[in-house]
Amino acid sequence: MDDRQPVRSVIVGTDFSETASLALNRGVELALQHRAPLRLIHAVHLQPFLDGGPPLTALPPDFEGRLRAAAVDQLEQWRRDAEAEGVRAEAEVVTGAPASALVDAVAKAPDGVLVIGTRGQTGFKHLLLGSTANRVVRESTSPVLTVHPGDADELRDMQTILVPTDFSADAERAIEQVGRLFGHQAEQAQVVLAHVDHLPVLLQPVFAEWRWLGFEQDDLATHLHDRLQRAAQPLRDAGFDVECVLREGHPHAVISAMAACLRADLIAMGVRGRSKLERAFLGRTVERVIQHASCPVLTVRADAR
């Protein structure tokens, strides 16, 4: 990725909901900051209208055509609004499941960023981090910025970025992406790099055995703190002031509480852990963090481009 143009494209997936409008605002900010083109995508998908809605026979025969025409008109208005802010923008209405459309779009846009809302109005159902956002976060090969209904603060005014890490490859990549996407704000934004450690009940007897061998909990804390300091170096090299902290508890609850306490402007974290078991666990953690976070969440995979 070229340091002079860290982001080559910004993709915004929209269903025209209020949260999607906030996602558009965040997408415009990123596009302006990185002088990148903006691409707006809406997927026309009938299934949400049929699930819990009227039977297919009750819909007009040209319903899908009308839906698509209305989407084209609305998306074109959003495109004009974005260009009025000084962004080069294009709009595309596709047919099919939104998650597939967005995953395909980012696969064709290396060095891009995808911005989506976590709550939208689709058909007759009001969804909170439904299958679309969940699948996109898990499968996107580009960083994904998810925006919540209450996320009104602008990215350009960020002061605190919370970066949880489990020292996995995905977490390391998330650290890199914070530097590349927001390094131009390093002088004004502090990074809190946190490792949340939770010892399951089943492993407590094992830890007791370690103590019998002379291994104390302070030894583990010292080891983890050293790893945090090493993990923080890329952020410090990018100019950020970094505070390293250790916390104990269930990761999703601790991360969400920390973000609220710090009044964080952004959470940035990897999507997958180191092992298959950790990947499954971290996947659930990420989903819960996105659901409960009080700020936008940037999620990254190690193979993000």
What domains, with CATH codes, occur in the chain? Answer: 9-147 (3.40.50.620), 157-300 (3.40.50.620)
Mean pLDDT, rounded, for 12-36: 92
pTM of the predicted structure, to 2 decimals: 0.85
Contact 123, 48 (CB under 8 A): yes
- What are the beta bridge partners of residue 163? 193
Residue 172 has pLDDT above 70, yes or no: yes
Residue 74 has pLDDT above 60, yes or no: yes
Mean pLDDT, rounded, for 131-155: 85
- What are the beta bridge partners of residue 145? 115, 298
Alpha-carbon span 145 to 137, nearest angstrom? 9
Backbone torsions φ then ψ of 4, nearest 5 degrees: -75, -15
Each residue's pLDDT tens digit, 43-53: 987 655 544 55
Alpha-carbon span 120 to 185, nearest angstrom? 30
Bigger pLDDT: 220 or 227? 227
